[in-house]
Chains A and B, each alone.
Chain A
Amino acid sequence: MVLNKQLGAILFAGLLATATQAALAAESVNFVSWGGSTQEAQKQAWADPFSKASGITVVQDGPTDYGKLKAMVESGNVQWDVVDVEADFALRAAAEGLLEPLDFSVIQRDKIDPRFVSDHGVGSFFFSFVLGYNEGKLGAGKPQDWTALFDTKTYPGKRALYKWPSPGVLELALLADGVPADKLYPLDLDRAFKKLDTIKKDIVWWGGGAQSQQLLASGEVSMGQFWNGRIHALQEDGAPVGVSWKQNLVMADILVVPKGSKNKAAAMKFLANASSAKGQADFSNLTAYAPVNIDSVQRLDSVLAPNLPTAYAKDQITLDFAYWAKNGPAIATRWNEWLVK
């Protein structure tokens, strides 16, 4: 009898737990991003106000891992509802059937910069690869554009470049080699690698934002290709770091919903809020990354605004995410071959 009672109690507790989980699941969104100060800002600008207004809990998770995302979708056990991914991956994943189409009756598509929205993804933020340099290392002559990276005579020192085979490095090599901006794609890989060969021994590769800042601030490299937000943060800290925005290369992060997400409806509401004029502006003001909502620009902090890619739209080149989504894997093979040669 006692045993039966205990058993009953355990069963009841189990049921209760399942019920609460179900109730919770109906009102929560699992948000996944890259961690660090970026995700902290996404929490402050999007998740916290959203939870307060809608009553939907936003659970922070991370870091983004494309392999994990694919494994979840394949196994049918999808734990993530909204994921912050790179723009070329968003298109590639959509083509591979890993993503849910977005509900544009909830999300306002016409307010989003068309460069950063597709059927399966809406912009998280955008940023530019800029030419950053250490003023203490270079002295009087200030580098003007990407050609300076390849001119080790005038500007001695090591160069910091982004180490993954993703949009950016090949484009800047071609631009420095004299390819006009509108003739970049399809990429002339032979020409790009040949140009990179000229400085190969001077390149220090960085894999993450913190590492890139450490390289530049310490003077380990005299210049390189950096995310604009990281340069801005260094300048705020008083590091002797300069920046050239000439031919700044635009890259974006995109928010996507994995196929089979358990909280799709809530995820769409979250995306509507994150891509709203206010959500985008608040996030930009916290991070120095740029808003994808065209109405956000007038809401930007007036001190910060001149340091955002939105202020340098005139001499800006948007990297071709669709080209990379299609050719990325093939380029990666070539890239590895060149790298270890």
Chain B
Amino acid sequence: MASQIKMAATTPSGSTLGARGAVSGGGASPSLAQRWKGSSNLIPALLFLGLFFLAPLIGLLLRGVLEPVPGLGNYAELFANSAYARVLLNTFSVAGLVTLFSLLLGFPLAWAITLVPRGWGRWVLNIVLLSMWTSLLARTYSWLVLLQASGVINKALMAMGIIDQPLEMVHNLTGVVIGMSYIMIPFIVLPLQATMQAIDPMILQAGSICGASPWTNFFRVFLPLCRPGLFSGGLMVFVMSLGYYVTPALLGGAQNMMLPEFIIQQVQSCLNWGLASAGAALLIFITLVLFYFYLKLQPESPVGASNTR
């Protein structure tokens, strides 16, 4: 909802700003002073983030190169050891699979919410939100109860005679992906639904009047229009999945160890904070790189637009 309003608001204000710039400066872009006008309003937020986020973060990153001895020893260990490379690979494949599945499941859901009559859509959206407000631990344990060998799903399938051996759906990659995709769906649906809501149905109509088949209309018109929502939702889910701990710890097997679990092990039981900090720095670095590509690939986002201007 919020991003929908923001999007609606940025487009006109952006164009007026451009127009004003053209009038006053005579050039194509507004003057620097104008673009930074009102930036002093940022100070409280910057101060807060600087003091409570940036400063500790720098302290943490410093540990990675200072402990136990100054140098890049921790990073060398992280990359040299095949086990840690494997942990990294696990982290990425889980995050990638979770993003894929939550997009595949979230897209139709967001579409349905947009299409049903307005009052109903709000109800469905509320149900999606409600699932987010329930304790994460409770939801994860519920999946355990559903998916385990003696769980509800396996018992039902066996009673129906569809399978005669219980399916292994938990304590492995399958369990992690199922549990996490479920948790991540709201983070896809919310931005995507806002984007879809803002799409003028007339555009689609115009497409079909011009002779586009329903498939062409979907792939060439609707999907590109959804891109901002798909991108921001997908990126958010991917980045959140990289740092997820509880669900993989409970639904995964130990062989599917992900980077967060490795970091916790180093912090809490091995007390090897240098190595843990190197792992954390790696996670932050990967996130930043992804964010950079996100901005690159999405010129229609407000940030991207102001960058190109």
Q: Chain A residues in contact with chain B, CB under 8 A?
A: 65-67, 70, 89, 92, 96, 158, 163-166, 200, 203-205, 207, 211, 214, 218-220, 328-329, 332-333, 336-337, 339-341
Are A336 and B269 interface neighbours, CB within 8 A? no
Which of B81, B90, B171 has the most A CB atoms < 10 Å from its CB?
B171
> A89-B269, A332-B265 given. 7 additional CB < 8 A pairs?
A66-B271, A164-B265, A200-B255, A203-B254, A333-B81, A337-B82, A340-B255
Are A218 and B148 interface neighbours, CB within 8 A? yes
Are A329 and B272 interface neighbours, CB within 8 A? yes
CB of B135 within 8 A of chain A? no
Interface residues of B in 135-185 (CB under 8 A from A): 144, 148-150, 171
CB of B75 within 8 A of chain A? no
A158: nearest residue on chain B (CB-CB)?
B149
CB of B87 within 8 A of chain A? yes
CB contact under 8 A between A340 and B253, given known A66-B269, A220-B149, A332-B270:
no
Question: How far is A337 from B254 in the complex, measured between Cα atoms in Å?
Answer: 11
In the assembled complex, the CB of B87 is this many whole angstroms from the nearest CB of chain A, namely 6
Per DSSP, chain A at the interface is: helix
Are A337 and B81 interface neighbours, CB within 8 A? yes
Are A67 and B83 interface neighbours, CB within 8 A? no
Q: Chain B residues in contact with chain A, CB under 8 A?
A: 81-84, 86-87, 90, 144, 148-150, 171, 249-250, 253-257, 262, 265, 267-273
In the assembled complex, the CB of A81 is this many whole angstroms from the nearest CB of chain B, namely 20
Are A339 and B150 interface neighbours, CB within 8 A? no
B84 — which chain A residues lie within 8 A by C-beta? 336
Question: How far is A332 from B90 in the complex, measured between Cα atoms in Å?
Answer: 19
In the assembled complex, the CB of A337 is this many whole angstroms from the nearest CB of chain B, namely 4
Are B271 and A205 interface neighbours, CB within 8 A? no
Question: How far is A214 from B141 in the complex, measured between Cα atoms in Å?
Answer: 11
Question: How far is A328 from B262 in the complex, measured between Cα atoms in Å?
Answer: 15
A329 — which chain B residues lie within 8 A by C-beta? 270, 272
B87: nearest residue on chain A (CB-CB)?
A340
Question: How far is A214 from B257 in the complex, measured between Cα atoms in Å?
Answer: 21
| Option from B83, B149, B249, B268 in Cβ contact (under 8 Å) with A340 | B83
Question: How far is A340 from B93 in the complex, measured between Cα atoms in Å?
Answer: 14
| Option from B148, B257, B267 in Cβ contact (under 8 Å) with A67 | B267
Question: How far is A158 from B262 in the complex, measured between Cα atoms in Å?
Answer: 25
CB contact under 8 A between A67 and B271, given known A218-B148, A336-B262:
yes
12 A–B contacts from the bound complex (CB under 8 Å): A204-B253, A205-B171, A332-B269, A336-B84, A337-B83, A339-B83, A339-B255, A339-B257, A340-B86, A340-B87, A340-B255, A341-B255
In the assembled complex, the CB of B51 is this many whole angstroms from the nearest CB of chain A, namely 17
A98: nearest residue on chain B (CB-CB)?
B271
In the assembled complex, the CB of B273 is this many whole angstroms from the nearest CB of chain A, namely 8
Question: How far is A340 from B83 in the complex, measured between Cα atoms in Å?
Answer: 6
| Option from B149, B150, B257, B273 in Cβ contact (under 8 Å) with A336 | B257
Are B171 and A204 interface neighbours, CB within 8 A? yes
B149: nearest residue on chain A (CB-CB)?
A220
In the assembled complex, the CB of B49 is this many whole angstroms from the nearest CB of chain A, namely 22
Are A205 and B253 interface neighbours, CB within 8 A? yes
Question: How far is A169 from B50 in the complex, measured between Cα atoms in Å?
Answer: 45
Question: How far is A271 from B82 in the complex, measured between Cα atoms in Å?
Answer: 45
Are B270 and A340 interface neighbours, CB within 8 A? no
B256 — which chain A residues lie within 8 A by C-beta? 340
Question: How far is A211 from B269 in the complex, measured between Cα atoms in Å?
Answer: 19
In the assembled complex, the CB of A304 is this many whole angstroms from the nearest CB of chain B, namely 30
Are A207 and B249 interface neighbours, CB within 8 A? yes
B253: nearest residue on chain A (CB-CB)?
A205
In the assembled complex, the CB of A84 is this many whole angstroms from the nearest CB of chain B, namely 15
Are A220 and B150 interface neighbours, CB within 8 A? yes
A340 — which chain B residues lie within 8 A by C-beta? 83, 86-87, 90, 255-257
| Option from B86, B149, B267, B269 in Cβ contact (under 8 Å) with A341 | B86
B262 — which chain A residues lie within 8 A by C-beta? 336
CB contact under 8 A between A164 and B81, given known A220-B149, A340-B87:
no
B89: nearest residue on chain A (CB-CB)?
A340
Question: How far is A339 from B150 in the complex, measured between Cα atoms in Å?
Answer: 25
Question: How far is A106 from B82 in the complex, measured between Cα atoms in Å?
Answer: 50
Are B269 and A166 interface neighbours, CB within 8 A? yes
Top-9 shortest CB links A-B: A337-B83, A340-B86, A205-B254, A67-B267, A67-B268, A336-B83, A218-B150, A219-B150, A204-B171
A332 — which chain B residues lie within 8 A by C-beta? 265, 269-270
| Option from A92, A219, A339 in Cβ contact (under 8 Å) with B254 | A339
Question: How far is A207 from B248 in the complex, measured between Cα atoms in Å?
Answer: 12
Question: How far is A67 from B264 in the complex, measured between Cα atoms in Å?
Answer: 9
B171 — which chain A residues lie within 8 A by C-beta? 204-205
Are B255 and A220 interface neighbours, CB within 8 A? no
B272 — which chain A residues lie within 8 A by C-beta? 329
Question: How far is A311 from B185 in the complex, measured between Cα atoms in Å?
Answer: 53
In the assembled complex, the CB of B253 is this many whole angstroms from the nearest CB of chain A, namely 7
Question: How far is A290 from B256 in the complex, measured between Cα atoms in Å?
Answer: 35
A157: nearest residue on chain B (CB-CB)?
B149
In the assembled complex, the CB of B277 is this many whole angstroms from the nearest CB of chain A, namely 12
A218: nearest residue on chain B (CB-CB)?
B150
Question: How far is A102 from B250 in the complex, measured between Cα atoms in Å?
Answer: 38
Are A66 and B254 interface neighbours, CB within 8 A? no
Which of B262, B265, B272 has the most A CB atoms < 10 Å from its CB?
B265
B271 — which chain A residues lie within 8 A by C-beta? 66-67, 70, 92, 96
Question: How far is A328 from B265 in the complex, measured between Cα atoms in Å?
Answer: 12
Question: How far is A333 from B267 in the complex, measured between Cα atoms in Å?
Answer: 14
B254 — which chain A residues lie within 8 A by C-beta? 163, 203, 205, 339
Are B150 and A341 interface neighbours, CB within 8 A? no
A66: nearest residue on chain B (CB-CB)?
B268
Question: How far is A70 from B250 in the complex, measured between Cα atoms in Å?
Answer: 26
A328 — which chain B residues lie within 8 A by C-beta? 270
Question: How far is A121 from B272 in the complex, measured between Cα atoms in Å?
Answer: 22
In the assembled complex, the CB of B205 is this many whole angstroms from the nearest CB of chain A, namely 53
B267 — which chain A residues lie within 8 A by C-beta? 67
A158 — which chain B residues lie within 8 A by C-beta? 149
